[in-house]
Structures are given as structure tokens and as C-alpha cells.
Amino acid sequence: MVPAPTRTDLLADPVAKALAALADPDAVGVAEIDPALADTAAFCETYGSPLEASANCVVVAGKRAGEVRFAAALVLATTRADVNGVIKRRLDVRKASFAPMDEAVSLTGMEYGGITPVGLPADWPILIDQRVADAPELVIGSGIRGSKLLISGTALASLPGAEVIEDLAK
């Protein structure tokens, strides 16, 4: 694990740019991993990282009056985002679902399996479960499958567009 700004080769471009704008970018760590092990369960098992110290970012989409609305939800790996309850109400849409993979990849500029809340489009709300915001440090994606970030819940909650929501996940 090294300070993320020293290894921008291990970050998707939008992630590197967003990290540079943080109050303390050196407080965020990055570690190179085997891209085949980027999925949370495989990563935790192989690298001995506790599942409860990992958070997953999902891209959610819903329509209202013909307009597609996107958001990112960040929840602990031991929980599931409440897409058709809390997130649907927050987006003010009739139905919310996970965004199609190709659309999520093209809109974020990140690799599927590495999408992270750091560096998402500026107009997207970043919905963060309270348990994520309270965590002292978490392993999350880096925008690519070949690395992971180590970041505090406080830093995640301070991202532009971040909203901390109680019971975002079940």
C-alpha cells in the first residue's frame, strides 16, 4: 500500500483527477492486485482482507418524465443497497435498477468491477450508507480492476455530491 497520488498508473483517469482535489490525497492508499481477483469476495479471500472492511459501489439508474437519472450507492460488502426503496425514493423515479454494465463503464470512464465513488460524474449523487461513513478505513475500487483503494469513511462522506443516508443498505 502506497499513497495513491504516487501511483496514478494504478488509477482510472477520473479517479486520479478527483483524488488530487481531496483535502489530503496522500491519506488515500492504493495497492496493486491481480485483476482477476477484483471482485470483492475473491479479493477478500485471496488477500486476507475482512469482508466487513470492504465497500461496494453500484451505479443505479431510473427514469422520470423520460429523463434517466443516475446515482452511485456505496454500501458495505456485507450488505445490499436498498435500490427499490431508499434509492428509488431519493432519485424520485418509479423504478430503479442497476445501470447496464456498458453504460456504467462508458459514463464513469472506469472498468466494470472497479467502479468507485471517487471521480464519478459531477452531477451524480453519491449515496453513502451511514455504516460506510462511520468506518475508519475501507477497501474500495480504484476505477480499474488491477488495484484497490484504502480510504476512510470520513473522506468518502466529504466527496462532492456525497449524501450520507441511514439504512441505505439492508
Alpha-helix runs per DSSP H in the chain: 13-20, 40-47, 88-91, 101-108, 130-133, 153-157
pLDDT by residue for the chain (170 residues), tens only, comes to 999 999 999 999 999 999 999 989 999 999 999 999 999 999 999 999 999 999 999 999 999 988 999 999 999 999 999 999 999 999 999 999 999 999 999 999 999 999 999 999 999 999 999 999 999 999 999 999 999 999 999 999 999 999 999 999 99
pTM of the model: 0.95
Q: Which of 104, 144, 151 lies closest to 124, judged by CA?
A: 104
- Cα 53–chain centre separation: 13
Q: Which domains does the chain have, with CATH numbers?
A: 2-165 (3.90.960.10)
Which residues are 70's β-sheet partners?
61
